[in-house]
Structure 1
Amino acid sequence: MLDAGKISAVSIDLDDTLWPIWPTIERAEKALHDWLTVHAPMTAALFSSPPALREIREEMGRSRPDLKHDMSALRRESIRLALFRAGEDPLLADAAFEVFFAERQRVILFDDALPALQFLAARYPLVAVTNGNADLQRIGLAPFFRACICAREFGVGKPDPRIFHAAAGAVDLWPERLLHIGDDATLDALGAINAGMQAAWLNRGDAPWPHEQEPHVTLAHLSELQELFV
């Protein structure tokens, strides 16, 4: 059971917790494809082939294991490889990636996300913990957060306990003083539990809990948070 009295700060996942990620990625990939159609049409054709694109991404993953936790660099270098394969200028990769990245930051929040952030930020310091490449400044949510710990900069991602401990360190607290909120049962909830935190699993789709150790609380939506701290 959740012990609200022990909570002195809250860490929060971003993608699929505050906004749905796949509609965002689909819009960003369309913006990228439209840009490539004008500036690198052969590469655009290559990107229209899912098997070819999958092969490029897999090759990039094999050749650059150092970029495992850097989604931005992996995406940019995959574009660069595609440009090279298509016989077009690999130097276009930076501009092409920026088109993708800018659109990737145009997220559409879940209806319960902004009220939850307002409620939590009025009571606790908040830390974002993400394996993705969302930019809170561009999105406009940075004022709610004391810090953002992302796998790209930290070097390891969830569910590694070290990234959760870094979130606790960002607010000068021991992990047991934090509640972590996230949608992924393994990366967020179990990861936080193993790091010594309390865990709130956001289960919007009524999925079964897949692990033996239970989260401290399960939420169907973020608006339930207000009931926990009354």
Structure 2
Amino acid sequence: MRFPVRAITLDLDDTLWPFAPIGARVERVLHEWLLRHCPNTARCFPVEAMRELRQRLHLERPDLAHDLSELRRLTLVRAMELAGDDPALADVAFEAFHVERNRVEFYPDALPALQRLAARVPLAAVSNGNADLARIGIDRHFAFQLGAREHGAAKPAASIFHAACAQLALAPHEVLHVGDHVEMDVLGAHRAGLRCCWLNRDGQAWPHAQPRPDLEFTTLAELADWLDAAHTTPDTVAA
């Protein structure tokens, strides 16, 4: 299938890099930081207990469901208060977490494909997570980054997709959203009126009869190949 694409919005976690190893590592690094600087908190809230506390806070604060950074910080505040450590250290602890959270290992195809895509059309990162493109070192490939925290609502809400399209000065049907998550990325973008590409790295079966993604690839390199074939210039579409 070929159709006009004037810009691409791109998910980050599990699209450009796998998140699972990051999630496991940041919890370990944060716990090690707490052992050094807040030993009472580390003793009262080892990794599993800290995770359970964060989940409880998620339930208590549904108004912050779009703001994973603030939920993480408030979890640290709560843990330090309960353990008798100084909650003022929560900001420093969060910074230690955030540094490690932005140490990513890209999928092998991701960086070369990202460069190819950015040479064709403007790219915008649209993510529910708290990755920082500047810290990671790939912000030069993107026109901008729009996070759920900054927008005030998370994918699959149509508003975050529409906000990205407005910032690109394009209609939704002119924008292709690319991501790994069936609901957050593919169906969310579809309902918002964008074209959608499912990055199905694991080769899973599409779980719904309809709607289906406009495009489906197992790597970003395949998407870059498709874009090269479909466009002779950023504004010219092959018949």
Q: Which residue identity is paired with 2:20?
A: W
Paired position in structure 2 for 1:101: 98
- Residues of 2 paired with 1:154 and 1:101: CA distance? 20
TM-score (norm: length of structure 2) = 0.91
- Residues of 1 paired with 2:180 and 2:44: CA distance? 34
- Structure 1 runs of 4+ aligned residues shifted over 6 Å read none
Describe the superposition over 1:4-63 as per-residue Cα deviations: whole angstroms up to 9, x where unpaired: 3x110011000000011111122221111111001111211233252x334422332233
Ranges in structure 1 where 5+ consecutive residues have no aligned partner: none
Which of these residues, 10, 24, 27, is aligned with residue 25 of structure 2?
A: 27
Residues 1:89 and 2:86 aligned together = yes
TM-score (norm: length of structure 1) = 0.94
Ranges in structure 2 where 5+ consecutive residues have no aligned partner: 230-239
Q: Give the 3 Å change call, closer, same or farther, for CA 140–54 of structure 1 in structure 2.
A: closer
Counting aligned pairs with the same residue, the percent is 48
* Higher deviation after alignment, 24-33 or 56-65: 56-65
Q: CA RMSD in A?
A: 1.3
Count of residue correspondences = 227
- Residues of 1 paired with 2:196 and 2:69: CA distance? 28
Which of these residues, 144, 156, 162, is aligned with residue 141 of structure 2?
A: 144
Q: Give the 3 Å change call, closer, same or farther, for CA 39–197 of structure 1 in structure 2.
A: same
* Higher deviation after alignment, 139-148 or 23-32: 23-32
Residues 1:156 and 2:153 aligned together = yes
SS in 2 for 1:122: helix
Paired position in structure 1 for 2:13: 15
- Residues of 1 paired with 2:213 and 2:56: CA distance? 37
Q: Which residue identity is paired with 1:77?
A: L
Residues 1:178 and 2:175 aligned together = yes
Describe the superposition over 1:100-142 as per-residue Cα deviations: whole angstroms up to 9, x where unpaired: 0011011111111101110011010101000000111101111
SS in 1 for 2:120: coil
Paired position in structure 2 for 1:192: 189
Q: Which residue identity is paired with 1:196?
A: G
- Residues of 1 paired with 2:196 and 2:125: CA distance? 14
Q: Which residue identity is paired with 1:3?
A: R
Paired position in structure 1 for 2:225: 227
